[in-house]
Chain A
Amino acid sequence: MKEIVVISGKGGTGKTSITASFAVLAGTSVVVADCDVDAADMHLLMQPRVDVTEDFYSGQIANINQSQCTRCGKCINICRFDAISLRNKQYIIDPLSCEGCGYCARICPMKAIVNRERLAGQWYISNIKTGSLMVHAKLGIGADNSGKLVAKVKDEAKEIALEERREIVLIDGPPGVGCPVLSSLSGSNYVVLVTEPTVSGLHDLKRVYDLVKKFRIKAGCIINKADVNPAKTAEIKQFLTRENIAHISDLPYDENFTKAMTQGKTIVEFDNGQLKNTLTDSWNKIKQLVND
C-alpha cells in the first residue's frame, strides 16, 4: 500500500480539482483522504454517503459550573482573551474567544471552572461515487486544522486500505507549510506538487518543497494553467530540473474546469478531450513514479 499526497503550498492552484480527478480515474483502487479540513471541499465533487461519524476533540475550553459559582468576578478580570462576560448575573464563556489557557480555572476560588476537551468537529468515513471510500472531516467555526486531525484522517484511511487491500491512499493535503502539511507528508511515499505560473505559485512551491526535501520523499509536479504565463512556467521548469523533481505534466487554463465544478463533477467526467487525456496520462505516470 502506498501513500500519495497532493500539496501545493499556495491555495487555489487546482489541487483539489486534480486530486478528485485522480480519485475518479483510480476508482476502487484508492482510498481517498481529504486532509484539507480547514476548507474541506472535496466532498462536493465526491458525493459522499456518510457511513461512520465520530466526534473530534482538540484543545481545551473553560467551563463554568453555575451552581458552584459565587459570582466573585475574578475570572472576568484575569481573562486575557475577553472570553468571559456577565449576562443575566451569570458569568458565561464565549467559546469562540476562549483559548483554553486554563488561567481562570486555576484562580477560581470555588473551583467552579474546569477545562474540558474542546469539541472541534467531526470526521467521517463515506462511500463515494467512485465506488470507493473517503475519510474526511468538518471543523466547527473557529476550530483550526492540526497535525493531530490530519494524522487521524490519514490513519483511518490507511487502515481501510489495509483491510480492503487497496493499493493506494490518495491524500488531498492542506495548503500552506504549517503543522497540518508536515503531518500529511510524514509517512507518505510520493508527493504530487500542484502549482501555477504566478509569482506566489512558484514562491510557495519552493517553500513547501523545502519540507518535502527535509523528509526525502520523491516528488513530481503538475503545472496547472501553464499557458497563462509562459515565462513563469519556464522558470518553474528550471526549478524542477535543478531540484530533480519529476515534471509530470502541464495543464492548460480551461474554463471547463469551472463548468465541471458548478455541476459537481470532476473534469475527467465532464471533458472527453485533451484535458481528460492529460490527466489520465498524469495519473498513470504518478503510479509508475511511486513504484520506481
Chain B
Amino acid sequence: MKIAFTATGTNWESMIDPRFGRTEYIVIYDEERQNLTGHDNSAVKNDAHGAGTATSQRIFELKPDVLITGNGPGEHASNALKHLNMKIFADAQELTLKQAYESFKSGKLREI
C-alpha cells in the first residue's frame, strides 16, 4: 500500500502540514518497499491561485491508496480527488509523520 502525507519536511520526524493545496511536501511511504520519498511542492505553493487542484494533480500522478493530511482538501480539490480510489484521513496536523502513520495503522485517524 502507498500512503501519501502532506508534510513540512521529508523524514519520519517531520510534522504533518495542515494545508493540503499549499503543503510544503508530499511524502510517499511505500509499505512493500519500506521506503519514504519526498516530493517538493514549492512550485504549487507559489501559484497565486488554484493550489488545491494543482496539488490534486500531483497526487493523481503519485497514485497513493491513502492520504493523511490536516485540514483536508477544500471543495474543488475534494471533487477532483473523488475520481481517485483513495481514502483520505484528516486532522493529523499536530502529529509527526511517524505518529500519523502509527495512528492510521491503529485506526485512530478520522476518514473524511
Contact = CB atoms under 8 A, between A and B. Distances in A.
A138 to B, nearest CB: 17
A183 interface: yes
Contact of A216 (B19, B21, B47, B91): B91
Contacts of B75: 211, 214
B51 A147 contact: yes
B103 to A, nearest CB: 16
Given A211-B74, A216-B72, A183 B22 contact: yes
Interface of A: 58-59, 146-149, 151, 179, 182-183, 185-187, 211, 214-217
A85 B19 CA distance: 43
B9 interface: no
B70 interface: yes
24 contacts: A59-B48, A147-B21, A147-B47, A147-B48, A148-B45, A148-B49, A149-B48, A151-B22, A179-B48, A179-B49, A179-B50, A182-B52, A183-B22, A183-B51, A186-B18, A186-B74, A187-B17, A187-B19, A187-B93, A211-B74, A211-B75, A214-B75, A215-B72, A216-B71
B18 A187 contact: yes
Nearest to A60: B48
Given A59-B48, A147-B22, A187-B93, 5 more contacts: A183-B22, A186-B21, A186-B74, A187-B19, A214-B72
Interface in B35-76: 45-52, 70-72, 74-75
Nearest to B48: A146
Interface residues of B, number: 23
B43 to A, nearest CB: 12
User: Which of A58, A59, A179 has most chain B Cβ within 10 Å?
Assistant: A179
A187 B50 CA distance: 17
A59 B50 CA distance: 13
Contact of A185 (B47, B49, B71): B71
B45 A151 contact: yes
A182 B75 CA distance: 10
A179 B74 CA distance: 10
A284 B97 CA distance: 34
A181 B52 CA distance: 13
A148 B18 contact: no
Given A214-B74, A216-B71, A216-B90, A186 B48 contact: no
Contacts of A187: 17-19, 70-71, 93
